[in-house]
Amino acid sequence: SAVISQKPSRDICQRGTSLTIQCQVDSQVTMMFWYRQQPGQSLTLIATANQGSEATYESGFVIDKFPISRPNLTFSTLTVSNMSPEDSSIYLCSVVEGNLGQPQHFGDGTRLSIL
């Protein structure tokens, strides 16, 4: 299975600033996703990162707030912009390889706290 490196693992940021999270995969994968997990909650899909084109955002998430890049099949970034305390969450990138029976594999997550 793919090995996913996600950085940073955690950060504490001031409100109003932006943070970019990186996700590097050790093999080419078709599907990459970004999730948010608020404290004590389940995972919420932010967007599907599309290689070479704009990400596909889920309802409630917009590109201005969560710009995503995916320049190739092994790398993606998620930026959390103009942060507020409500953005304090774990952010996870994930990949899926192949058919229906393949699980998602996740990076170790970025634990973000906004002061």
The length of the chain, given as a count of residues: 115
Q: How far apart are the first and last CA of the chain?
A: 37
Rank residues 85 and 101 by Cβ distance to another protein and give the closer one: 101
Task: Please state the separation of Cα 58 from the chain's center in Å.
Answer: 13
Find the binder of another protein among 14, 42, 53, 59 (CB under 8 A). 42
Q: How far is the CB of 42 from another protein (least distance, A)?
A: 5
CB burial of residue 37 (10 Å; 0-12, 13-18, 19+):
middle
Query: For 82, which DSSP code?
Result: S
Per-residue x/- mask for another protein, residues 50 to 89, rule CB under 8 A? ----------------------------------------
Find the binder of another protein among 43, 61, 67, 73 (CB under 8 A). 43
Rank residues 13 and 90 by Cβ distance to another protein and give the closer one: 90
- Rounded Cα distance, 4 and 99, in Å: 19
Residues of the shown chain interacting with another protein in the complex, contacts defined by CB under 8 A = 31, 41-43, 45, 48, 90, 92, 94, 96, 100-101, 103-109, 111
